[in-house]
Amino acid sequence: MDTNIYHYVVKDAAAANYPLEKFRGQTVLIVNTASKCGFTPQYKGLEELYAKYKDKHFVILGFPCNQFKEQEPGTNDEIQKFCKLNYGVTFPVLSKIDVNGPQEDPLYTFLKASVPGAKEPVPIKWNFTKFLIGPDGKVIARYEPATTPEQIEPDIIKTLKIAK
């Protein structure tokens, strides 16, 4: 099994290859997103975190997912427009994927299996589950959907080794 995210190539919103190798040495927050979810307003907090730390080797990667009560029914193009228009999102929102089940993206298979202290992979329970990845490409922590971006900020700061 892979030991970091750098071996994975996902698809961007235009379905072009998007190698995660480009984020080597950066702190990455990976989030499965949806535009018709009770947690959708977290886009605002995510964008604020991204704006605050993007110049300090931090990136957020959004992965739209329609597996939870079909809360992300749009096309990749519609999702991009929604994120920009409603939340001013500038961090990468990539191609829609599955995060559980037989069609799950291999990146999510890796993420779920790599959470420190987890004895076995735990399925994604809902939209806006978050994974914090260190500069070495390894999973540092998993946060369930109710954990807000603001609550994750202290862990991001520690990972970035910066003072507030």
Ranges of each domain in the chain:
5-160
Distance CA 62, CA 47 (A): 11
Options 10, 37, 89, 99, the catalytic residue? 37
pTM (whole model) above 0.85: yes
Contact 49, 29 (CB under 8 A): yes
Judge whether 65 counts as a catalytic residue. no
45-80 confidence digits (pLDDT tens): 999 999 999 999 999 999 999 999 999 999 999 999
Which pLDDT tens digit goes with each residue over 87-118?
999 999 999 999 999 999 999 999 999 999 88
- What CATH code would you report for 5-160? 3.40.30.10
